[in-house]
């Protein structure tokens, strides 16, 4: 039979004029030894007008109707300065859709890592059967249906349907199947400073010192490809980075970290031990003729590790051991770039589809998952180098469903253009609902030079995304805040400090993501699922359940319209603490220094107001609680999670998860602090130094706090009767203790 099959194939090849067995693309030839193939299905979301998902695309949050346009494509590619408002393929792939209506939320994902194409069509369905089935939901004659067509080049039918019926159910179901983003190290939520490239060790030293000189916090400084010895990864340029250990330790002394890029291609150099070792072990991807595949990338001639071989993954992970990665320390983390994989000399700047991987897999079958196996190996390497004691931090450009378990992602090579700033919000929101909560865009744009207005507005957006990094390419002007005008530098400093004040809230959000799968930065409809006015909203979004943002993304925008949902909620301006009249649309002035950021009534938000040069130095600093009461002033609640921010000891119960709840009426109120997981404990010296209550409904006359001894202690306070805002300074209660605070009017 095998011989007969081969003869039949050869016969076809002789008369192949339709690309069935061999396909030509420019100068490239794609042979198809198994013949032509595709697998497809139609999925109709009955009763839905809004479908989301399918990252990664630089396009709207709601998937467009593709009847008159190209379909959405998923095929991981290295795209320089990508276009916006297009369904073209980018760096990652998540074949997952969510359909949402005021009555239900459902989802579907297809576990297929081949190239995929997706059509979406929104139309009414007049089928009498469907109308009869759904008549109790839709009174009119037109039943809305979102019809979708899914097609992959190859692979099996392995589809999962998620039936919700609520957004929180969908996130829980999806994360149960695909995994959550593990709790990141605390420093990862701070500011990341990067460019291609810091020139040498002195440049790193001067940049680091510049942040201290200008009193601007940051946490991580990054090194791109130029830090290596001739683009040999796991090495250092012997002249420009002659003493990497000392360089990293100087950074570490200030509580900061460093990240170095490690790409999957290997420089073809017969005199390099790493190249030769992998060659001898037969660890490289093969071409269609079973020879080591050779492409062209940053080092010039390069070969590509075959991460589908489990032995390669083990070998690669071991390269992160300190004994192997000379010059590295426990404060050096990793950035996996170019792992689509990028091949400058290949078709579509990637690897030929007929390349062969371990086990005889054709590359066309597994293309979109190559990057996942790369950063999985890196994550395991960082985990193993600390003997499982320290949390890894890995950034990847290429991703697939499940990548969130090992790495966070960014939106790739954007540009210093307002259109790229605008599109970053729906891109981050789409990634979040598809299981990737730790995401962001290169602030200021990777290509080009932002002017002062654009850089300020981009920072204002960037601090509202979970991954907060400034990065740009080789030929751009320097982006450090002090290279802009004095006014702009001051604005940028204040924006960065706002991010740092909110780190406890961000960290708590990521812990809660590990428990329920909720995205940290999320579309409005996830919090207000029955408000149809929010289903298309992509400029305005939520951070957790308590903060709402509508940042400026257009030049010269002196005001923005903000939709205040939920007639039962009060909304407060984050900066002025003044309540905003709602519900409905309000116009908010947006001078350059203004971020439209609002706290939701009924929420308690923990922050830290003392500024340090890095987040780790604030670990024992006191907390402030911002309590925004609901509309009638009777209720607010919130949580705070904290641990050592670095290790896995939280899995052994060394953490605190606090619950704060305020209840009151028109004459008095009480704030209770309790421990949600009483069997867990983290011994911190941090205490609560201030409590700010917004929307109090009475004039307070005295405030007392009760600690474990139940002996009341009278506290000093200040009351602003115009804002109805109560400020209690120095309640002096350790955050690890339970307490009660009583307010009487």
Residue 11's pLDDT is what?
43
Predicted confidence (pLDDT) at residue 454 exceeds the cutoff of 50: yes
Residue 8's pLDDT is what?
44
Ranges of beta strands (E only) in 181-264 are 191-193, 220-223, 257-261
Predicted confidence (pLDDT) at residue 18 exceeds the cutoff of 80: no
Residues forming beta bridges with residue 447, ordered by sequence position:
415
Residue 13's pLDDT is what?
46
Whole-angstrom CA distances from 531 to 83, 391, 523, 537, 729 are: 32, 39, 12, 11, 39
pLDDT top residue among 368 and 68 = 368
Question: Over the stretch 689-711, which tens digit does the pLDDT of each residue have?
Answer: 999 999 999 999 999 999 988 89
Q: Name the token pair of 418.
A: 């307002």
Q: Give CA angle at 113 (395, 303), nearest 5°.
A: 60
Place of tokens 């809004």: 50
Residues forming beta bridges with residue 334, ordered by sequence position:
260, 394
Q: Count the neighbouring beta carbons within 10 Å of the beta carbon of residue 648.
A: 17
Question: Over the stretch 37-85, which tens digit does the pLDDT of each residue have?
Answer: 999 999 999 999 999 999 999 999 999 999 999 999 999 999 999 999 9
Predicted confidence (pLDDT) at residue 3 exceeds the cutoff of 70: no
Rounded-to-10 torsion of CA 532, 535, 538, 540: 40
SS3 357: coil
Q: Which of 172, 226, 220, 181 is nearest to 199 (CA)?
A: 226
Buried/exposed code over 38-67 (b: 16+ C-beta within 10 A; e: otherwise): ebeeebebbbbbbbbbbbbbbbebbbbebe
| Burial label, 322 (beta-carbon count in 10 A; 0-12, 13-18, 19+) | middle
| Burial label, 708 (beta-carbon count in 10 A; 0-12, 13-18, 19+) | exposed
- Residues 639-661, mean pLDDT to the nearest whole number: 98
Predicted confidence (pLDDT) at residue 627 exceeds the cutoff of 50: yes
Question: Over the stretch 308-343, which tens digit does the pLDDT of each residue have?
Answer: 999 999 999 999 999 999 999 999 999 999 999 999
- Per-residue confidence band for 437, with pLDDT thresholds at 50, 70 and 90: very high
- Residues 361-373, mean pLDDT to the nearest whole number: 98
C-alpha 225/C-alpha 26 separation (Å) is: 30
Residue 581's pLDDT is what?
83
Whole-angstrom CA distances from 407 to 332, 410, 468, 665 are: 15, 10, 15, 47
CATH 3.20.20.80 domain locations along the chain = 262-389
SS3 704: strand
Q: Which helix (H) or strand (E) holds 274?
A: helix 273-280
Whole-angstrom CA distances from 368 to 283, 296, 486, 496, 650 are: 20, 20, 45, 35, 33
- Per-residue confidence band for 29, with pLDDT thresholds at 50, 70 and 90: confident
SS3 526: helix
Mean pLDDT of the chain: 95
8-state DSSP, 426: H
CATH 2.60.40.1760 domain locations along the chain = 37-178
Residues forming beta bridges with residue 600, ordered by sequence position:
571
Backbone angles phi, psi at 690, to 5 degrees: -155, 145
C-alpha 388/C-alpha 380 separation (Å) is: 9
The answer to whether the CB of 503 falls within 8 A of the CB of 190 is yes
Looking at the domain 262-389, which fold is it? TIM Barrel (3.20.20)
- Residues 248-272, mean pLDDT to the nearest whole number: 98
Q: Name the token pair of 172.
A: 């829980």
Active site amino acids:
337, 340, 413
Whole-angstrom CA distances from 191 to 221, 427, 440, 492, 713 are: 9, 20, 12, 12, 39
C-alpha 669/C-alpha 604 separation (Å) is: 14
Q: Which helix (H) or strand (E) holds 512?
A: helix 503-516
Place of tokens 């002196």: 558
8-state DSSP, 578: P
Predicted confidence (pLDDT) at residue 128 exceeds the cutoff of 70: no
Residue 7's pLDDT is what?
36
Residue 237's pLDDT is what?
99
- 529 φ/ψ sector (left φ>0, alpha ψ -120 to 50, else beta): alpha
With pLDDT > 70 as the criterion, what percentage of the chain qualifies?
95
Q: Which of 349, 366, 247 is nearest to 296 (CA)?
A: 349
Question: Taking the chain, what is the end-to-end CA distance rounded to the nearest angstrom?
Answer: 91
C-alpha 137/C-alpha 738 separation (Å) is: 47
C-alpha 253/C-alpha 256 separation (Å) is: 7
Q: Which CATH number fits domain 619-744: 2.60.40.1180, 3.40.640.10, 3.30.300.30, 2.60.40.10?
A: 2.60.40.1180
- Per-residue confidence band for 138, with pLDDT thresholds at 50, 70 and 90: low
Backbone angles phi, psi at 686, to 5 degrees: -65, 145
Question: Over the stretch 537-594, which tens digit does the pLDDT of each residue have?
Answer: 999 999 999 999 999 999 999 999 999 998 778 999 999 999 998 889 999 999 999 9
The answer to whether the CB of 436 falls within 8 A of the CB of 469 is no
Could you tell me how far CA 106 lies from the centroid of its own chain?
22
Residue 28's pLDDT is what?
84
- Residues 412-424, mean pLDDT to the nearest whole number: 99
Backbone angles phi, psi at 476, to 5 degrees: -85, 160
C-alpha 65/C-alpha 606 separation (Å) is: 42
Buried/exposed code over 398-416 (b: 16+ C-beta within 10 A; e: otherwise): bbbbbbbbbbbbbbbbbbb
- Residues 488-501, mean pLDDT to the nearest whole number: 99
pTM of the model: 0.95
In the CATH hierarchy, which top-level class contains the domain 37-178? Answer: mainly beta
Compute the chain's Rg from CA coordinates: 27
Predicted confidence (pLDDT) at residue 408 exceeds the cutoff of 80: yes
Question: Over the stretch 584-610, which tens digit does the pLDDT of each residue have?
Answer: 999 999 999 999 999 999 999 999 999
């Amino acid at each position: 039979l095998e011989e007969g099959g081969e003869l039949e194939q050869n016969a076809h090849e002789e008369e192949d004029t339709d690309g069935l067995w061999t396909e030509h693309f420019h100068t490239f030839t794609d042979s198809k030894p198994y013949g032509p193939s595709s697998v497809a299905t139609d999925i109709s979301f009955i009763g839905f007008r809004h479908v989301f998902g399918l990252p990664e695309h630089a396009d709207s949050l709601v998937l467009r109707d593709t009847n008159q346009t190209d379909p959405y494509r998923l095929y991981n590619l290295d795209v320089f300065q990508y276009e916006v408002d297009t369904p073209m393929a980018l760096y990652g792939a998540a074949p997952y859709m969510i359909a949402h209506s005021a009555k239900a939320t459902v989802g579907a994902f297809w576990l297929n890592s081949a190239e995929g194409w997706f059509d979406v069509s929104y139309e009414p369905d007049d089928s009498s059967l469907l109308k009869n089935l759904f008549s109790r939901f839709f009174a009119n004659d037109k039943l809305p249906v979102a019809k979708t067509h899914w097609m992959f080049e190859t692979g099996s039918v392995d589809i999962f349907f998620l039936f919700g019926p609520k957004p929180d159910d969908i996130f829980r179901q999806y994360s149960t199947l695909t995994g959550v983003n593990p709790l990141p190290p605390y420093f990862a939520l701070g500011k990341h400073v990067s460019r291609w490239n810091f020139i040498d060790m002195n440049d790193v030293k001067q940049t680091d010192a510049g942040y201290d000189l200008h009193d601007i916090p940051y946490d991580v400084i990054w090194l791109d490809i130029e830090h290596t010895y001739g683009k040999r990864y796991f090495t250092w340029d012997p002249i420009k980075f002659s003493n990497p250990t000392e360089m990293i330790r100087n950074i570490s002394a200030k509580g900061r970290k460093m990240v170095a890029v490690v790409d999957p291609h290997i420089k073809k150099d017969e005199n390099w031990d790493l190249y030769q070792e992998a060659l001898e072990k037969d660890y490289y991807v093969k071409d269609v003729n079973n020879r080591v595949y050779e492409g062209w990338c940053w080092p010039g001639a390069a070969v590509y590790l075959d991460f589908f071989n489990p032995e390669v993954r083990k070998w690669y992970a071991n390269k992160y051991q300190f004994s192997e990665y000379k010059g590295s320390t426990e404060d050096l983390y990793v950035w996996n770039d170019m792992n689509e994989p990028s091949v400058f000399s290949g078709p579509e700047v990637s690897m030929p589809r007929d390349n062969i991987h371990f086990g005889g897999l054709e590359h066309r079958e597994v293309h979109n998952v190559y990057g996942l196996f790369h950063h999985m190996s890196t994550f395991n390497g960082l985990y193993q180098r600390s003997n499982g004691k320290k949390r890894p931090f890995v950034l990847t450009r290429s991703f697939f469903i499940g990548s969130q378990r090992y790495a966070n992602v960014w939106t790739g090579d954007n540009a210093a253009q307002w259109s790229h700033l605008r599109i970053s919000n729906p891109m981050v929101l789409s990634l979040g609902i598809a299981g990737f909560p730790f995401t962001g865009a290169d602030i200021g744009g990777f290509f080009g030079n932002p002017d002062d207005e654009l850089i300020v507005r981009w920072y204002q957006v960037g601090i509202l995304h979970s991954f907060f990094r400034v990065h740009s390419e080789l030929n751009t002007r320097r982006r450090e805040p002090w290279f802009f005008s004095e006014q702009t530098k001051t604005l940028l400093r204040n924006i960065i400090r706002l991010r740092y004040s909110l780190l406890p809230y961000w960290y708590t959000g990521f812990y809660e993501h590990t428990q329920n799968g909720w995205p940290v930065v999320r579309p409005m409809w996830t919090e207000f699922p029955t408000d149809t006015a929010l289903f298309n909203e992509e400029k305005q979004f939520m951070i957790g359940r308590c903060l709402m943002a509508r940042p400026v993304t257009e030049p010269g925008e002196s005001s923005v319209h903000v939709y205040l949902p939920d007639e039962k909620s009060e909304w407060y301006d984050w900066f002025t603490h003044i309540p905003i009249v709602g519900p409905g649309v309000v116009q908010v002035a947006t001078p350059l220094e203004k971020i439209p950021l609002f706290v939701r009534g009924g929420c308690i938000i923990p922050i830290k107001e003392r500024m340090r040069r890095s987040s780790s130095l604030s670990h024992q600093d006191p907390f402030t609680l911002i309590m925004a009461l609901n509309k009638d002033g009777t209720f607010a609640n919130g949580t705070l999670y904290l641990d050592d921010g670095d290790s896995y000891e939280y899995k052994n119960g060394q953490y605190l998860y606090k619950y704060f709840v305020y209840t009151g009426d028109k004459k008095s109120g009480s704030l209770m602090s309790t421990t949600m997981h009483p069997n867990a404990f983290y011994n911190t010296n941090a205490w609560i130094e201030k409590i700010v209550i917004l929307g109090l409904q009475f004039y307070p006359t005295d405030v007392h706090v009760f600690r474990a001894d139940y002996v009341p202690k009278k506290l000093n306070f200040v009351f602003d009767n115009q804002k109805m805002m109560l400020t209690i300074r120095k309640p002096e209660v350790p955050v690890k203790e339970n307490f009660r605070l009583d307010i009487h009017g």
